[in-house]
């Protein structure tokens, strides 16, 4: 296999766009073309306002766009030109049919694979970049091999992403590891080395891990399942802390100092969100069920159950604290993205909370610095026969600042840990003055100095803590 000179990425979303932009940024000798069938998305990538917000992404894209980085809707042309093709399409959890609610929907992966097989006029390395169930590559391989000829050969690799929204560019520029799985055949190992050489432009050799194809696929699901399990474990402890007077931050710190555990993913919150954790755990649950391992499936499913429980527990606490009713009360929700430094709202805890508030006939005012009105309304509206957008707009006000959201509110709820919501950034005295009294604040992200806000007059509830924590 000669050196890779041209790369095509099918899918211009959260994974494909940043990943291939960084490859172009670090590999000036390689032409990188990112393609998508959605012309509006491609137009956004070619505009001054990118369709994805990630710190550092704009600088990377603008540095190489039009030089060796291109965005196009010409999928067939990019496939024909490329030596290596990333398949980076969406793999949402199935909504219907066999495995609904747990299994990944691989329709887009299959469609992209068939497109490659149909239009390729030369040999290609095809790389799974989307998060997929273990052994998905076998299906892709079957499709590609059925279209192989004496002159056209397809090699398939697995190269899962380990990006976190908000730090994706740093994760790509300085990765903990790059994982490349291949069939352990001479051809597969040569293809594996060709992709390793691409990453070798900036990643140390010892950080590029090579495995068999199936280990690589399973490693992504396993890593996300283990991380999500830690969040759900500390969230389970947060309920015990509130009941006993223990402080969840102190418990987590003590556990984190244990070198066998480490300190990461031990921050109690209203629950985890994002495109990966829940989807990948449910995928692992389904895989375990299909392998006739019901106990294993139940174990991992409990992580998701714990996450949903944490959201519902938070809502119940808000309603109970507000005298057992929030009907016609104004609730200011600060944050809609699933975490700070991203505009990604997939599986955001805010969606669950706000839908519950609407069900309780509350008036909800929302502010998030990076999520626009259209996205919020779409996430809160139920698709299908009954259009609930009108109901959402009746109950929801989307604001341009935290101060506007909190004006005349009965309660402020911190859902996303944006730095601007910290008490050293936001003027909480101003917020307090504009609220109905008593003024309640519910911190779902361990973000504020509760004693300081209580001195202002706020009634503060912090997840995993009580006002008397640490006192006899």
CATH code of residue 288 = 3.40.50.720
Q: Which of 146, 179, 203 is the last residue of a domain?
A: 203
User: Per residue, what are the HEC states of 202-263?
Assistant: CCCHHHEEEEEHHHHHHHHHHHHHHHHHHHHHHHHHHHHHHHHCCCHHHHHHHHHCCCCCCC
Same domain as 258, residue 160: no
Annotated binding site: 11-16, 36, 41, 89-93, 130-131, 161-165, 220-224, 260, 267-273, 276-279, 338-339, 346, 445
Q: Are strands 178-182 and 363-367 parallel, antiparallel or unpaired?
A: unpaired
d(CA 107, CA 50): 27
- Is 276 an active-site residue? yes
Give the residues of the chain that fall short of pLDDT 50.
Answer: 385, 469-472
Same domain as 394, residue 339: yes
pLDDT of amino acid 187: 94
Q: Identify which of 2, 12, 76, 18 has the alpha carbon closest to the alpha carbon of residue 38.
A: 12
Same domain as 329, residue 198: no
Same domain as 276, residue 170: no
Q: Which of 203, 238, 259 is the last residue of a domain?
A: 203
* CA R_g for the chain: 24
Same domain as 379, residue 271: yes
Q: What is the pLDDT of residues 140-199, one digit of tens each?
A: 888 888 877 878 999 999 999 888 889 999 999 999 999 999 999 999 999 999 999 999
Annotated binding site for substrate: 161-165, 220-224, 260, 267-273, 338-339, 445
Same domain as 262, residue 153: no
Q: Has residue 223 been placed in a domain?
A: no
Q: Has residue 106 been placed in a domain?
A: yes
Q: Has residue 232 been placed in a domain?
A: no
Rounded to 5°, the CA angle 443-444-449 comes to 35
| φ/ψ of residue 395, rounded to 5 | -95, -15
Q: Has residue 373 been placed in a domain?
A: yes
Q: Identify which of 447, 458, 334, 326 has the alpha carbon closest to the alpha carbon of residue 395.
A: 326
Cα maximum dimension of the chain: 79
Residue in 9, 20, 134, 276 annotated catalytic? 276
Same domain as 185, residue 57: yes
pLDDT of amino acid 291: 85
Q: Has residue 408 been placed in a domain?
A: yes
pLDDT of amino acid 131: 65
pLDDT of amino acid 385: 47
Q: Has residue 216 been placed in a domain?
A: no
Q: Has residue 115 been placed in a domain?
A: yes
Q: What is the pLDDT of residues 377-432, one digit of tens each?
A: 999 997 654 567 888 888 999 999 999 999 999 999 999 999 999 999 999 999 99
Same domain as 255, residue 160: no
- Strands, E assignment, 261-362: 330-334
Q: Identify which of 370, 314, 364 has the alpha carbon closest to the alpha carbon of residue 342.
A: 370
Instruction: Quote the number of domains for the chain.
Output: 2
Q: Which of 170, 187, 203 is the last residue of a domain?
A: 203
Q: Has residue 298 been placed in a domain?
A: yes
Same domain as 125, residue 25: yes
Same domain as 29, residue 143: yes
d(CA 195, CA 297): 34
Same domain as 276, residue 149: no
Annotated binding site for NAD(+): 11-16, 36, 41, 89-93, 130-131, 165, 276-279, 346
Residue whose tokens read 């697995």 = 158
Residue 115: give the domain boundaries. 6-203
pTM comes to 0.78
DSSP element (H, E) containing 16: helix 16-26
Same domain as 274, residue 356: yes
């Amino acid at each position: 296999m000669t050196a890779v000179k041209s790369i095509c990425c099918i899918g211009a979303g959260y994974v494909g766009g940043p990943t291939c932009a960084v490859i172009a940024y670090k590999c000036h000798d390689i032409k990188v073309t990112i393609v998508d069938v959605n012309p509006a998305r491609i137009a956004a990538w070619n505009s001054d306002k990118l369709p994805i917000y990630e710190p550092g992404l704009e600088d990377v894209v603008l540095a190489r766009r039009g030089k060796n980085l291109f965005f196009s809707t010409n999928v067939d042309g990019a496939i024909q030109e490329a030596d290596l093709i990333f398949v980076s399409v969406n793999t949402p959890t199935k909504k219907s049919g066999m495995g609904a609610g747990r299994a990944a929907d691989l329709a887009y992966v299959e469609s992209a694979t068939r497109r490659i097989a149909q239009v390729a006029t030369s040999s290609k390395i095809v790389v799974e970049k989307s998060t997929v169930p273990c052994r998905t590559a076998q299906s892709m391989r079957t499709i590609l091999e059925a279209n192989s000829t004496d002159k056209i050969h397809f090699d398939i690799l697995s190269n899962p992403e380990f990006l976190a929204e908000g730090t994706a560019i740093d994760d790509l520029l300085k990765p903990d590891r790059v994982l490349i799985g291949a069939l352990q055949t001479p051809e597969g190992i040569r293809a594996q080395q060709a992709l390793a050489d691409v990453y070798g432009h900036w990643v140390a050799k010892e950080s590029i891990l090579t495995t068999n194809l199936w280990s690589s696929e399973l490693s992504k699901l396993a890593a996300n399942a283990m991380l999500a399990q830690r969040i759900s474990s500390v969230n389970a402890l947060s309920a015990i802390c509130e009941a006993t007077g223990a402080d969840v931050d102190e418990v987590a710190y003590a556990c984190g100092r244990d070198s066998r555990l480490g300190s990461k993913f031990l921050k109690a919150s209203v629950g985890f969100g994002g495109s990966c954790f829940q989807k990948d755990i449910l995928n692992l649950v389904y895989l375990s069920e299909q392998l006739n391992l019901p106990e294993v499936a139940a174990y991992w499913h409990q992580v998701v159950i714990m996450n949903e429980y944490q959201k519902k527990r938070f809502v119940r606490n808000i309603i109970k604290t507000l005298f057992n009713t929030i009907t016609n009360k104004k609730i200011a929700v600060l944050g809609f993205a699933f975490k700070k430094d991203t505009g990604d709202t997939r599986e955001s805890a805010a969606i669950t909370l706000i839908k519950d508030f609407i069900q309780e006939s509350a008036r909800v005012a929302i502010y998030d610095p990076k999520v626009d009105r259209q996205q919020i309304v779409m996430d809160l509206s139920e698709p299908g026969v009954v259009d609930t957008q009108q109901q959402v707009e009746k109950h929801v006000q989307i604001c341009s600042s935290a101060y506007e959201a909190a004006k005349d509110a009965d309660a402020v709820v911190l859902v996303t840990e944006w730095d601007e919501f910290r008490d050293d950034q936001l003027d909480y005295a101003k917020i307090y003055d504009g609220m109905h009294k008593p003024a309640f604040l519910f911190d779902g992200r361990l973000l504020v100095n509760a004693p300081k806000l209580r001195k202002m007059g706020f009634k503060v509830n912090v997840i995993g803590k009580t006002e008397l924590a640490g006192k006899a």
